Amino acid sequence: MTDPFEALRSPYEPRPPREEFARRLRARVVAALGLDDGDSIPTITLPERSRAMPATILPTTSPSTTATEVTPYLTVAGAAAALDWYAQAFGAVEEFRVVGDDGRLGHAQFTIGDARFMLSDEHPEFGVRSPGSLGGTPVALHLSVSAVDALFDRAVAAGATSLRPPADEPYGARQGVLIDRYGHRWMLSQPLEAFDLDTYRRRSEGTGYRVVGAGSAAGAAGRARPERGAIWAAVFYRDALAGIRFLVDVFGFEEQLVVTGQDQRTVVHSELRWPEGGVVQAGTYDASNPYSLAPGQQSLYVVTADPSSVWERSQAAGLDVLRPPESPDYDPGGLTFSVRDREGNLWSFGSYGVRSG
């Protein structure tokens, strides 16, 4: 007869203890023996993580959306070693680290000069991956330094890959580009002189790019910036350069900045200021861009104290009129009209905002 205990017996397989049990047991032994089990860097044990964030963390009221700073957050494979490498290559100073029970860094902070950075290990279970896992990075870290050649050489000596050695650039800085040992791209830049759009435009000739805008001795600092809460309207054209010329010559916008691509025709960014306040960005229509509406599908309203002058220029340009000048019910005594530009976009000009404000 078969021994039932023999039939039910399974082979003995040693298993490691649960990480939480091992951590608590180690802490008790260290405390009982009076040993120093720490190092010079403070550590914090992470709680057990869940894939879903609890709904209770969402604010019940709308918080302020005013941004105060942007901090680069790097993800690497081997964060502890990366902290040592950044110290060696860039002179980074670690502030603290947060270590999980599995040994991975959930968070760390370090500084390079006055610049602060955050860092963590990969956590694929949460979609947090490093450039190595993703096959590269679309983000570059622009770091302003006082001695770019020395720092660049120091980083390369530590194992970084040089993409472009430091050189004087037309925008008034000496800059070099490298890839660190963990796949992140760094642009190390040493300012040499004040940024000036006129000088930038002149120095960019023959580089394949051109700078178009109202550059003056005041440079970029002289451009009007939006007040808090302002909205910048966007309008797209198949021939954006011609569209911008139209907006300036016919409607009366003031050209502040136009940036084109390597073909010198595609407008990737522009800033056209309305003299009485407000900015319109005119760009080249791209059907693959979900934020780019086809010409003829866009409508903008411009507030002006003198719509009659814009109407006269629109008439002289022979624009298609959707609504001639009239005093609408919502603005008795005011004046408004609507026309289409050369690519079919609808523009309305009126004194409503001036009179009601």
**Cβ-proximal residues to 347 (8 Å cutoff; 6+ apart), any chain:** 251, 299, 300, 302, 338, 339, 340, 341
Which regions of the chain are under pLDDT 50? 38-42, 49-65, 215-222, 356-357
Of 152, 184, 185, 182, nearest in space to 167 by CA: 152
Determine the distance from the C-alpha atom of residue 332 to the mean position of all C-alpha atoms in its chain, rounded to a whole number.
45
d(CA 209, CA 96): 43
| Composition of the chain by helix, strand, coil, percent to 5 | 25, 30, 45
Cβ neighbourhood burial of 105 (10 Å; 0-12, 13-18, 19+)? buried
What is the CB neighbour count within 10 angstroms for residue 203? 16
Cβ neighbourhood burial of 66 (10 Å; 0-12, 13-18, 19+)? exposed
**Residue ranges, CATH 3.10.180.10, the chain:** 73-193, 199-356
Tell me what pLDDT residue 195 has: 65
**Cβ-proximal residues to 318 (8 Å cutoff; 6+ apart), any chain:** none
CATH numeric code, 199-356:
3.10.180.10
CA angle (140 as vertex; 114, 204 as ends), nearest 5 = 100
Tell me what pLDDT residue 187 has: 94
Q: Give per-residue burial for 12-47: e unless 16+ CB within 10 Å, then b.
A: eeeeeeeeeeeeeeeeeeeeeeeeeeeeeeeeeeee
Tell me what pLDDT residue 323 has: 94
Q: Are 350 and 336 in contact (CB under 8 A)?
A: yes
Tell me what pLDDT residue 28 has: 75
d(CA 128, CA 133): 10
Tell me what pLDDT residue 340 has: 96
pTM score, two decimals?
0.46
Q: Does domain 73-193 have CATH number 3.10.180.10?
A: yes
Place of tokens 């902290």: 83
Tell me what pLDDT residue 10 has: 67
Of 353, 248, 254, 349, nearest in space to 308 by CA: 349
